[in-house]
């Protein structure tokens, strides 16, 4: 009986391990991209996205939080309804889970817009003239007006939306420009 129970437990653990990895690529964190994309990294680092987790701490941006109906003294760093937009890959396989478990995935990093890099970065590494279609199949997103995931976080369910203050309005053209400075690519993909 005990043997049987142990066997069941063991199989369940195996299934859990496999479904946790799944087929989707893992999130790497911006440091991995920095190795090959230093200019974009440095430019992104100057945006508010690079420190957006900080804003979930008590006492930070108190006036803005009050205006949005939030409690400025509350610690929101473990609140799923905040971290889902202030981290990278929350709720997705290999993405942010908690500050303790995945500290390198706090803030809105490269992969928040470009997709999990575990697989596509290997394609970029193997061949500098890689085919864009191959990188996309491996999970790369190159956001445009037509094809983007911006509204996952910049939509009306953000506490900081245009109803709270018009400055939070999301003008896609202007925002695509301001993600980081854009530099011409060397190769055609
Ligand atoms: C080992 C080096 C390497 C790493 C690591 C790497 N890349 Fe790249 N990536 C490249 C090269 C090479 C190109 C093509 C550059 C060119 O044509 O000038 C490229 C191109 C790109 C492009 C442009 C694709 C297109 O055709 O429009 C994006 C976006 C990109 N990388 C994002 C990332 C992100 C995000 C990460 C981190 C998860 C990453 N890369 C990691 C080497 C790398
Ligand atoms: C995972 C959530 C998430 C996604 C996806 C996302 N953003 Fe954001 N973005 C944020 C957060 C959060 C901030 C504000 C950071 C802060 O002040 O805490 C922000 C801020 C910005 C800023 C202001 C940067 C600055 O310093 O001025 C720009 C520009 C921007 N996002 C563009 C985009 C675009 C374009 C897309 C889609 C291609 C996008 N974002 C997708 C969460 C996201
Ligand atoms: C649906 C996504 C989303 C959720 C959920 C979310 N945020 Fe944000 N947050 C954003 C975006 C996007 C911005 C940037 C808005 C802009 O600059 O246009 C932002 C900006 C902020 C700012 C900076 C405002 C400023 O004026 O500088 C603070 C502080 C903040 N969020 C705290 C929180 C807290 C606390 C929670 C949870 C109660 C939370 N956010 C939940 C998307 C979200
Ligand atoms: C807020 C969304 C967002 C974030 C975060 C972001 N990017 Fe981009 N990235 C874009 C957009 C939009 C483009 C331009 C797509 C186009 O029109 O070709 C782009 C283009 C690129 C390109 C192509 C060359 C260029 O300069 O335009 C590379 C390489 C790249 N990103 C790497 C990165 C790296 C590395 C990071 C993190 C340090 C990062 N990106 C973070 C949205 C983002």
CATH number of the domain that 170 lies in?
1.10.1130.10
Residue at 184 is within a domain: no
Q: Is residue 49 part of a domain?
A: yes
Residue ranges of the chain with pLDDT lower than 50?
Answer: 12-22
State the distance from the centre of ligand 2 to the C-alpha of 12, rounded, in angstroms: 39
pLDDT for the residue 18: 43
Residue-range definition of the domain harbouring residue 151:
24-179
Tell me if 132 CB under 6 Å of ligand 4: no
2 assigned to some structural domain: no
Ligand 4 proximity of 37 Cβ (cutoff 6 Å): yes
Name the DSSP class of 56. Answer: G
Pocket flag, ligand 4, residue 143 (CB < 6 Å): yes
Q: Whose CA is nearest to atom 17 of ligand 4?
A: 144
Measure CA 164 to chain center. 24
The total number of structural domains that make up the chain: 1
The answer to whether 187 touches 129, Cβ cutoff 8 Å, is yes
Is the distance from the beta carbon of residue 112 to the nearest atom of ligand 2 less than 6 Å?
yes
pLDDT given at position 19? 42
pLDDT at 24: 84
112 lines ligand 4 (CB under 6 A): yes
**64: CB partners within 8 A, 6+ apart:** 160
CB 143 within 8 A of CB 176: yes
CA dist., res. 70 & res. 81, Å (int): 12
Please give the number of the atom of ligand 1 that sits closest to the Cα of 142.
29
Q: Is residue 17 part of a domain?
A: no
Token pair of 80, please?
């799923």
Residue 29 lies inside a defined structural domain of this protein: yes
**102-135, pLDDT tens digit by residue?**
999 999 999 999 999 999 999 999 999 999 999 9
Predicted pLDDT at 123 = 98
Is residue 12 assigned to a domain?
A: no
Please give the model's pTM, rounded to 2 decimal places: 0.93
Q: Atom 34 (ligand 1): residue with closest C-alpha?
A: 33
Is 14 inside a domain boundary?
no
Pocket test for ligand 1, best of 37, 88, 108 (most atoms within 8 A of CB): 37
Best mutation site among 153, 161, 162, 170 for ligand 2, i.e. most ligand atoms within 8 A of its Cβ?
A: 153
CA 172 to chain centroid: 18
């Amino acid at each position: 009986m005990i043997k049987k129970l142990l066997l069941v437990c063991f199989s369940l653990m195996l299934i859990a391990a496999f479904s946790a990895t799944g087929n989707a690529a893992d999130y790497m964190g911006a440091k991995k991209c920095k190795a090959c994309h230093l200019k974009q990294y440095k430019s992104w680092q100057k945006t508010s996205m690079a420190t957006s987790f900080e804003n979930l701490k008590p006492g930070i941006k108190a006036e803005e939080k009050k205006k949005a109906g939030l409690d400025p003294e509350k610690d929101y760093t473990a609140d799923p309804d905040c971290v889902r937009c202030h981290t990278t890959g929350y709720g997705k396989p290999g993405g942010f889970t908690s500050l303790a478990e995945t500290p390198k995935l706090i803030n809105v990093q490269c992969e928040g817009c470009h997709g999990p890099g575990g697989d596509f970065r290997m394609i970029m590494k193997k061949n500098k003239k890689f085919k864009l279609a191959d990188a996309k199949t491996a999970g790369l997103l190159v956001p445009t007006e037509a094809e983007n995931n911006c509204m996952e976080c910049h939509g009306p369910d953000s506490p900081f939306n245009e109803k709270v203050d018009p400055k939070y309005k999301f003008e896609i053209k202007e925002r695509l420009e301001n993600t980081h400075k854009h530099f011409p690519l060397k190769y055609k993909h």
